Chain A
Amino acid sequence: DGVAVLPAPQNLSVQSTNMKHVLTWSPVTVPEEIVHYSVEYQGEYESLYTSHIWIPSIWCSPTQRPECDITEDITATVSYSLRVRATLGSLTSAWSTLKHRFNQNSTILTPPGMEITMDGFHLLIKLEDLGPHFEFFVSYWRREPGAKEHIKVVRPGVLPVYLETVEPGAAYCVKARTFVKAIGRHSAFSPTECVKVQGEALPL
C-alpha cells in the first residue's frame, strides 16, 4: 500500500431520492493537481461472510468528482457500508468509511410527474420514468357527486397508458403516486388534475 500522506476524504454522506442514491464527500485539494477517488461497498452479506472483501463501485473506481452515483451498486434492501479514498499518482490516502450504513429503504419518495391527455374519448396518462423499481398507483374518477374512484396499477413504459373511455361533456380527475416494490413504500399522491371532455353531455 502507498504511504498515506494524502488526507482521507471527509464528510461522507448519501443523498437518496426516488431510489437514486448519490454518495458525496468533501474534496481533497492539492494545488495544481487532480485528485482521483475510489469508492467501494459491502452489503450485509459481505460484512458478515467475507468482511475482507470490498466491491469496487461500478461507476467510481476511479472518479475525479467528489461524488458517486451508487444507485446500481445498491441492489438489495440490506444495509451497505461505503468507503472512499483519494489517490494522486502513487500517493494513496486512508479509506474513509460512511459513519452510518446506508439502506435504500430510507430513500425519499416524491409524488410522480404526470401528464393527462385525451385521444378522442380516451383518457390517457403519461408518467415520469423513474426507473424499473417503480410502479404507479393511478386513481381516477368522474367529477360528479358520489362518483366511484378507480385505481389502476401502471408499470413504467414509453407510451401513454390508457385509463378509461370517457363520455362527452363530462369531467374526469386523476392523481397518482409511486410504489417501490423493493422497499414496500409509496410516495404521496401528486396534485389532482382534471380534464373536461369535448362534446355535448349525453341525454340522461
Chain B
Amino acid sequence: MNYKIVAITEAVILIAVTAGFAVYGMYFTNQPIRLSGAGATFPAPLIQKWSAEFKDMTEVQINYEGIGSGGGVKQFTEKTVDFGASDPPMKDSEFSATPRTLHVPITIGGVVPIYNIPGIPKGLNFSGQVLADIFRLNITRWSDPRITTINPGVTLPDAEIIVCRRSDSSGTTKVFTSFLSDESTTWRATYGAANVINWPSQTVGGKGNPGVATAVQQNPNSIGYVELSYALESNISYGTVQNAAGKFVEPTLETLAAAASAVSLILPPGDTSWASVGSYFNLHNVEGADNAYPIASFSYILVYKELNVRSGMTLEKAKALTWFLWWAVHDGQHYASGLSYVPLPQAVVTHNEATLRMITFNGQQVNDWT
C-alpha cells in the first residue's frame, strides 16, 4: 500500500504549498492598487508598456485588455472598467449616453497604402481620388494614366492590380474609407465609411494587418493598406499620399506628428463631444498643414469626468488613475517612438493637461499638478 502513502503525502504537500502562497499573498505583500481598462487594440502594446513601467515606479497595477474600440466604448458606457480606449472618438449618440466623458488623445495612428510591384521601390505617389478609384476597381491596371500622371519618370507595368484589404472588422478600415469618402464622392455613394464595408467581390481580404501585408507580399502587382507602425516594421514598400495642401507626403512619425499639431488648433475642449474630429484628421481648411500626412488619427483614452460613477472607486484609486494618465501623456511619450508609435506634439499635450485637470472624485478635483 505504498502508493497510498505517497499519494496522501503528495496531496498534503500540495495543499500546504498552495495555502502557503495564499497566506503569503494575503499578509506579506502590500495590497497593490489595481486599475482596469479595455478598448482599442491599436494602442494596446503602448498602454501595456506604460503599465509595466508605471508598476515599477509606483506598484500600481493597470490591466489593459485590447478588445477593440467598439468593445471599449461599450464597457466604458456600462462602467465596468476604470478607463476605456477607442481609436475613433465617441459618436454623438454615444457621447449623449455618457455625457460626462473626457477624451484624452494618447497617440497618433496613420493608415498607409502598401504595394508590391516588382522593380518599383517605395515612394509611389497616390492621391485620395486615385486610391478611391483603385480600391473600387475602377483603375484596374498600374499603367493607367491616372496613376502615371502623378508619377512622372516611373515606368509602371501594364499589369492587373490585385486589391487587398482587411477582412475583419477594423478601425483601420474605418479611417481609410473615411478618407476615401471625403476624397471621392463616388466612393462615398457606393461604399461609404465603416469598420466593414461591402468591398468589390474581386478584392482579397486578409485578417488583421499581418493578413493584408502577407497578401500584398505574396501577390505581385498588388496594393493594400495597413497601420503605419506595421508598414515601418515590416519590410514592405509604401506610398506617399497627397495632402490637402497638394503635397505628396511620405508617412513617417514626423509627418503624422505634423498632422496632429495642425489639428490641435481646432480640437474641442476635453469634456465636450469630439465627434467633430472624425475618424481621421480632415485638414482641408486648416492652415500650416503642408507637411502633414493626410490619413492620420488619434487614439483616445476615455475617462469619467466624475470618477465616483465607477463602483469601487476610491480617492486612492482616483489619484493613481489620474497620475497614470498625466504620466502617460508626458514621460510616457518617450516610449512611443521605440515601439513605432508617434509621440504627441506639445500642443496636444498642453490640451490634455487642461482635460486631466477637470477630473473630480466626489466633486473634488483629484490632482491639480501645480
Do the two shown chains form a genuine complex with each other? no
